[in-house]
Each structure stands twice: as C-alpha cells, then as structure tokens.
Structure 1
C-alpha cells in the first residue's frame, strides 16, 4: 500500500492515528462524564449537549488562525508539534474534577487542535503536489483518513477499561498519553519531510497579521461577547431568552461573523485566476456545514441513544470474556425509584430543582417488564462509550473497498470528480438517518430498548457518505487552493466543520423537546436532503472549475 506513495505518509498516518486516538477517546466519554451524577458534573442532557457542541465547534474554529500562522510564520513542523503538546496536556488536565480546570483543559485542546489539525492535513497534500504523486492524492487522503479511524476505533476500548477500573481521570490520562505518542512519531519522520514543512511567508496582497488581529480576531471576541449578552424574546421554549437557544450558541454564532466575512473577502480580493477556485471552495464549505451538523451527533444524541435506548446487556460466554477484560459494568436493579421518571423518561423536577437519583440505574427505565431482573439482582452491560467505535470500524472496513472501487473507475477513465463524490456522499448520509427513524419505531418511541444492530446499520450507511465527503473535502482543498493560502483555506474547511459541530450541539440539545423521537431524526433527514439538493445544483459549475484547473 505504501510503495506508490510518499515516504512521509506512514509517519503522518501514525501521527494522525494517535492524535485521533486521544481526541476520540476524550469525545467518547465527554458527555457521559458531564452527566455523571456521582463523579461527574451532574449536567442534564441539554446542558451537556450545549457544552459539547460549543467545545467541538471551537476545536474546529481555531484551525483558521493555526493554518494562517503556520503558512506565514512558524511552518508546519513547529505548529504540529506545539499543537500536539498542548492537546496532550489538555487531556491530562480534564480528569481534574473542577469546572475551572475543565474549561482550562478544553481551551488547551481547542488552541492545540488549531495548530495541529489543518497543518498535518496540508503537509500531507504538499507531498502529493509533486508530479510523481498527483494522481494518487485522493487515494492518499483516503489512507490518511483510515489512520484517523484506526485511532478512533481502538481508543474507546482503552477508555472503557480505564474508566471502569480507575475512573474518569485515568481514561482522560490515556487520551493524553496517546497524543504524546503521536507527537513522538511525527518527530521520528522528520528526515522524510524535506523542505515541505517550511513556512511560505507573507505573499504580495496578503492581509498583514496585525490587520487580521484588529479586523478579524478582536471583532470576533467583541461579537462573541455581544452574542453572550444580547437577549431575544423570552418564550416557553426559550426561558432564558437567548436568541439561538443558549448564551454560548449566541456567542459562537456572533463570533463567527467576522471570520466568515474574512473568508468572503478572499474571493473579492483574489487575483483573477484564483477567484473561481476560491469561490468553488467557499461554496463547498457552505454546503458541508449541514453534513457535520448531523454527523457529529455521534458524540451527543447517538451516544445518548447507545447509552439509554440500546440493549447493552451481556450474557453467557460474552459476559465471561468482557467481564475479565473490564469492558462491562455491573448494574443492580432497584425498583423503588421508578416513580422519579415520567412517561418520556426525563428526570423530573420538584419545586424547580432537578431530582438526581444515584441508586437507580437509568438503564432499566425502558427495559420491557418481562425482561426486568429480580429486585436487587445484578446484570452486566457493555460500556456505552464503545458504541463510538462503530463508525471507525466501518471506516476501516469500507475504506479499502472504496479506494479499490475508485481505482477501478480511474483505470477505465470513469472516476467521478471530487465534487461529484461529495454530492453523493451527502445523499447517502441523508439515507442513513432513515435507519434511526426505523429504530425509533422498533423501540416504540423509546419505551423499549432496541438492538445495537440499528446503530451498526446507521453508522454503516453514513460511513459510506462520510468516505465520499470528508477525505474528499481535504483533497479538494489541497487541489484548488492557491499555493500561498493552502493552510488558510484548509482552516476554512475546518471553519465549516466548526459551524456544523455547533449546530450539532444545538440539534442534540433539542432531543428532550421531541415527544416523538422519530421527528428529531426527520429534521436531520430534511437538513441533509437540503444540502444534497444544493450540492447537485452547484455541481456543474464546480466540475467546470476543476476541469479548468486541469484536476479531477
């Protein structure tokens, strides 16, 4: 697999694998930790989803500035190493049970990712700009993307074992160690990077950095503060009168306005030859926002589905094996606390105070009566964060097939363009949501638990869409970006991801507002179908730009 690719690829593959090991281990337990009544922060579903959405949004917003700094001042090697060290430190600090420490740790991860994520992706693209490897760029990004998902797959098993044995702090520490290993691997590959890691410097016509600070970063902070403070019209659905549902969402959306305006200005100020490719990239960025809004429900709403609506009981030989390797937890059935929960399985409130019940495991609230254990009996259930490994499992399984399929089409000169792949990726992703609509029906709207096979089916379908969209997005940015702003445009891709991530948190925080859970998924289906139709409408123009640039 490696022989026909640059020698740097295995090192970048492994660096990204370990970085994603740490990140997805942390994401897999993040909302579970926030909601844990005994040793977490006892947040409600809405509170945890809102913080999760804001966090992962900011994680993907900082690549905008990280890419720009790497392009002009630090170069890729320094940026990647410093970003990785910050992220590793942040993961270690997350296990310290203190809200101020949690926010500080999140800040380190947010800033560190800004320096690591866009620059390792751009560095990979630099090697495929050489004539020898140009035709292999899509394949290279697919292989790189598989590295991401190898890390994302194995991490949740480590997270489950260490959380079961030693608690949340130990699990977060393992994430930090994984990140540090990724940095070490990257450094070991230095001799293969040659001159590809150097800074490109400021080019003629580039906006000076002080102007970026004064006219983008400072306004973003000011807009964010205004968004936090400004209030909309109070209503039953919006008690604190935040405009978009929460103060953090308002702040984020307002803070994005100057950054979005900056990216729009790149088009108007570009040289004539660069206008069309920049315009094409901005159009793709806008469309894929809705994909990320739905896809990133894997760490919130779908994590919640795996935790509370999926049958996780383990019996027989499987129980014996998983118990021995600490992938399961023992739950004791307590019948006397059922009254704390209403028909929709929400935690009830008394005199305005949320009732937190520790002794009664939420797991039993929607187990069919004939399947409930006897009073005080114990059962084993697999750790709920393991459902986070289903998506990367499918990526690992399907990537070779996808690569082989497009290699075959390429050999027959029938390979579709990168924008066409993205369009079909959106369509297939929309179809995956219908699987969850059927899962809700199978569980009688959450009144009974359903098989984990529903999650496998949902993730299986959306993974095909993801493989046609996410690595292709990285590839198209590398192909179309003007040379002097490649990392900056890669930051634009992550800006779109960031906005989508925040919208994902907004969607997930509305989970409890839907009495019929299928309607929640129908909304997601509608959003993805809208994005699909928009992408197909743009396809002719996007393919024309690709053809004019002499690329596919």
Structure 2
C-alpha cells in the first residue's frame, strides 16, 4: 500500500472528511433503510388477517420467526467477516451482501409462502456479508488519522439512523396504507441503489478492502505481535458441535411451532428437545471459553472475563430493547388509540412534515457537497444516487400530501375513502400508522447523541458498569411506562385505546438506554482484547447479541399467554423487573469488573 497512505483520502474533503466516507454513508443509509423498513412490517404482515393481505398467524408464531430471523442476522456476521478477511475482501463482501439483500427484498415483495422464507434466508446471509465490513473500510481509511475517527463514526452513525428513520417511515407507511408488497419492494429498490453507487465509486478507496493476497496476509501477520494460541482439533470439533446445535435450535424453534410439531429435529429428545439442545450447546461453549481463558496470562484472562461479563449483560439489553418491532408494534397496532382529532391532528400533520422534510433536506445538502468533490470522477454513481433521492423525495411528499388530503376520511379496504362524519368533515382526523412510533428511536438518537457524547467526554463520565446500570434502568423506566398505560386493559382483550403518549415515552427512555449501552460494548472489546483474540471475542460478542435477539422473540412469543391470563400490563411489568435486576447486578459488580479491567476505561 505504498501509494495508499491515508493522506490521499484527505486531499478532497467534504465537511472536513474524505469524500469516500460519504460514499459509505449513503451506502449504509440505504442498507439500513431496507433492513429497518422490512423489519418494521414483518410482525404486522404475519399477524394481519387474510382480508388485510396478511398470513393471520398467531403472535406466538410470528414472534418465534422474528426472533430467529434477527438472531441469525447477527450470527451470520461472523461468517461474512471471515470471508471478507480471508477470501474476498471488504469490498466484494459489501457487494455480495447488497445483492443478496436486494434479491431478498424482491422475493418478499412476491408474498408467497416460499418467497417470504427465501427472502428472509437471503436477507440473513446478505446482512452477514454487508454489516461487519463497512466499518472495517472506515477503520482502514482513518488508521493514520485517529484524531478524526470519532467524528467519522459520528457522521456514519447519522447515516445509519437516517436510513432507519426513512425506512420505517416510508416502507411502514406503504406497507400499512397501500399494500405489504409495496413496503417490502421499496426496501429492495433502495438497497439496489445503494449497491450500485458503492460499486461504481469503489476506486475512491484506493487499495482498501481489496481481495487479500499472500503479500497483504504476510504484512498483517507481521504487525500482529500477540502470542499465538491456535485452536486444537478437539476445540475445533467442540466449536463445530456447538455451532450445529445452536443453528439447528434457532431454526427448529420457529419451525416446530409453525408446523405444529410436524417439523422438529429434536423430537427424539421429547417435548423439551429444543431446550436440551441449546442448553447442551451453551454448556459446551462455556467449557471451551473457560479453557481458552486459562491459556493466557493473568491480566489478559481477567480482561477477557470483563468482556464476557458485558456480553452477558448485553443479552438482556437486546432481548428487552428489541420489543420495538415485536410486542411494542403489536401494542401500537392493536391497543393504542392512534386516531388524532382536531388540533392534535393538525399538530401531528405539521410535526410529521417537519421531521420528514428537514432531515431529508439536510442529507440532500450533504449529497450536494459530495457531488462537488466526486461528480467529475464518479458521474454515473452520483446520477444513480441522485435518482434514488428524487424517488425518496417523491414518495415522502406524496405521503405527506395524502395525509393532509385524507384527514377526516377512513381508508377502506378497496382503496376508496369514506367520510368519518355523516354529513361533512367538521374536524380533522388523522390515523397514525403503527410503524410510525418506531421512527422515534432514530429521531431521539440524532437529537440526544451529542448530549450523551458530551457527558462521556466530561469529568462526570461514569464507569462501564454504571453506564450499563443506567441504561438498564432507563430500559426499565420505558417498560414501566407502557405497563402503566396498559394497566386498564382487561385480561384476554384483543383491542384497546391506550393513549399514544405512553409509547412515545417508551421510545424516549429506551433510546437514552441504548446510548448508554450500545456504543460502549464494542468499544470495550477493542480496548480489552489482544489483537490475536479480537476475532474470537467479537464472535462471542455477536453471539451474545444474537442470543439477545432470539430472546426478544421468545419474550414476544409469550405475550398472548400472559395477557390472556394476567393482562397485558403484567407482561410489560415482567420486562421492567428483569431490567431493574440486571441494572442492579451491573452496578454492584463495579468493584469486581474494575479490577478485572486493569485500568482500562
């Protein structure tokens, strides 16, 4: 890489950063648009009635499939990361992932049973190839400019949240108001645009992310001074066994429920076969992990133990936080009064217009700044990116205009409109889409992230344990809000009209909890883990996230059983109590973990 020092990337900058960062910014934005847009619709589509175009699944079955899907998404990152590092390079991994996800969304738009399952499989592998490699390119681009890296990741994170916001807003709106296939299809269209602009602009990254060769592998090994501790045959066999058991469990759990027991690979173990399989896998993995720790020096071993502790807490965080596209979306759809009248309707329409147009305007301005630096060399990529923004502007303005026009009308199943007032509309009436509430997470992150960043940089910056404790308490506070809101819902009730203020508070507190926990975890993996073990421990971390995602589905599977017996409020109070217990546990373990971290903050 003699001709590819980081200086060349900073010759032509946009807002003080390389133009290449913004190629990644927009690619990631469209990928997050597609991922969150589809995810916001999945549970609603599966549980919607046949007359509304859905599959009329039980919430239990829908949550089981959802949990396995998001769990597999994070597990697949280990596979994608391995192939990128060892075989095809970061760039090809991003392209392969984007193509697979485009095909996945296209398959889901067809809406047949086969195409939906095929689409989910393609999305799992697509995310696995795509997700871990975008940040790897940024890391390489800034490796000689560490002082600029925090700002780069902040900008990149803005792209992530902008994509999530617009994906949920537009795909969710089309899916709920027009048709499920339109929501699924739109997600695929923008993933395709993101892939094209990345592929056509890739030369801007110099040699970064190319397919690894003997020379690059030798150079990487020469830079790694950590002691080697290769996996022995019995350890590899144990990894293979635990991986197979875990994969079969995560696939078999929803398959056995959805098929009514006709498909059950662990049936020979009895009614608790799934539980026996995953417990066996976890025990074997813990044995391997503990043994691996014993092979390192005392300080290294203790640092690895600290990382494992935070990974354990992370399981509970994601299991509860990821109720957003699951039980909280069901709560928004079936138990929340989403019809606003009079002044509140007008306020919502104006507010929704502002939070749609202003961020889109800011990002379009960033796009214009990038064009001035890159259009000469990457004209086609810029034209394609421009076309994608023309489309998203068109859909956004159409959505806002439709909301203003139909205020006071009821959208019937055949597409016609009926006056909600018998004689004439005397007051504005607006129905807020159930998926709209999920956009609040991205909005609150964009608004609050600078405040939390200032907090972490101040002398009042708390320790990792305290941050986790605060995050889990905020998670508990959010769940307590929706539990209080649901307190008047009788056991077994299928609908209700709870005020939407409770959901708004949930997303406010949960977002603050996310800002305390989500950015902290991976940072401590990189700080505490030796270079030679970083891949293995990132694998442990993503395994914890995957378990948490599957846990979110497992919690959601029980919502109807608990709601029918004890009431819906009871379900959310359970999640509140779990969050408080984990928060307290994190805080009281502060002295122990601080000692294990050996001065790392």
TM-score interval, normalised by the smaller of the two chains: 0.7 to 0.9
Aligned residue for 2:456? 406
CA–CA separation in structure 1 for the residues paired with 2:234 and 2:100: 26
Deviations 1:349-389 (A, max 9, x none): xxxxxxxxx99xxxxxxxxxxxx988xx9975232221221
CA–CA separation in structure 2 for the residues paired with 1:392 and 1:244: 44
Cα drift, residue 303 of structure 1:
0.3
- Residues 1:18 and 2:30 aligned together: yes
Q: Is the 8 A contact 1:71 1:485 kept in 2?
A: no
Q: How does 1:53-202 map to 2 (within 5 A)?
A: 53-126=67-140, 130=144, 132-133=145-146, 141-163=153-175, 166-187=178-199, 188=201, 191-192=204-205, 195=208
Aligned residue for 2:402? 325
**Distance verdict in 2 for CA 1:164–1:305, change over 3 Å:** closer
Aligned residue for 2:331? 305
Question: Quick check: 220-229 or 267-276, which moved more?
Answer: 220-229
**Distance verdict in 2 for CA 1:222–1:163, change over 3 Å:** closer
CA–CA separation in structure 1 for the residues paired with 2:252 and 2:519: 38
Cα drift, residue 501 of structure 1:
0.9
SS of the equivalent of 1:299 reads coil
Cα drift, residue 537 of structure 1:
3.5
**Distance verdict in 2 for CA 1:525–1:163, change over 3 Å:** closer
**Distance verdict in 2 for CA 1:29–1:245, change over 3 Å:** farther
**Distance verdict in 2 for CA 1:249–1:25, change over 3 Å:** farther
Which of 494, 497, 502 is matched with 1:449 structurally?
497
CA–CA separation in structure 2 for the residues paired with 1:469 and 1:304: 25
**Distance verdict in 2 for CA 1:244–1:261, change over 3 Å:** farther
- Residues 1:390 and 2:440 aligned together: yes
Q: Is the 8 A contact 2:173 2:435 kept in 1?
A: no
Aligned residue for 2:485? 439
Cα drift, residue 159 of structure 1:
1.0
Q: Is the 8 A contact 1:71 1:488 kept in 2?
A: no
Which protein has the bigger helix share?
2
Cα drift, residue 55 of structure 1:
1.0
Deviations 1:1-32 (A, max 9, x none): 97676765434333322211110001100011
Q: Is the 8 A contact 2:471 2:517 kept in 1?
A: yes
Q: Is the 8 A contact 2:68 2:251 kept in 1?
A: no
**Distance verdict in 2 for CA 1:67–1:547, change over 3 Å:** same
Question: Quick check: 379-388 or 97-106, which moved more?
Answer: 379-388
Question: Quick check: 44-53 or 184-193, which moved more?
Answer: 184-193
Question: Quick check: 287-296 or 240-249, which moved more?
Answer: 240-249
CA–CA separation in structure 2 for the residues paired with 1:254 and 1:34: 31
Cα drift, residue 302 of structure 1:
0.2
**Distance verdict in 2 for CA 1:18–1:477, change over 3 Å:** farther
Question: Quick check: 521-530 or 494-503, which moved more?
Answer: 521-530
CA–CA separation in structure 2 for the residues paired with 1:61 and 1:332: 41
- Residues 1:534 and 2:591 aligned together: no
Cα drift, residue 444 of structure 1:
6.9
Which of 216, 221, 243 is matched with 1:220 structurally?
243
- Residues 1:504 and 2:552 aligned together: yes
CA–CA separation in structure 1 for the residues paired with 2:271 and 2:577: 20
Compute the TM-score of the two structures, normalised by the length of structure 2: 0.71
CA–CA separation in structure 2 for the residues paired with 1:95 and 1:148: 23
**Distance verdict in 2 for CA 1:182–1:536, change over 3 Å:** farther
Q: Is the 8 A contact 2:465 2:589 kept in 1?
A: no
Deviations 1:178-213 (A, max 9, x none): 2233334544365346547775677843438x9887
Which of 483, 489, 494 is matched with 2:537 structurally?
489
Q: Is the 8 A contact 1:80 1:115 kept in 2?
A: yes
CA–CA separation in structure 1 for the residues paired with 2:174 and 2:411: 21
Instruction: Note the residue ranges of structure 1 that are not aligned, 5 or more in a row.
Output: 231-237, 334-357, 360-371
Q: Is the 8 A contact 2:41 2:175 kept in 1?
A: no
Cα drift, residue 106 of structure 1:
1.1
SS of the equivalent of 2:431 reads strand
CA–CA separation in structure 1 for the residues paired with 2:270 and 2:554: 8
Aligned residue for 2:229? 205
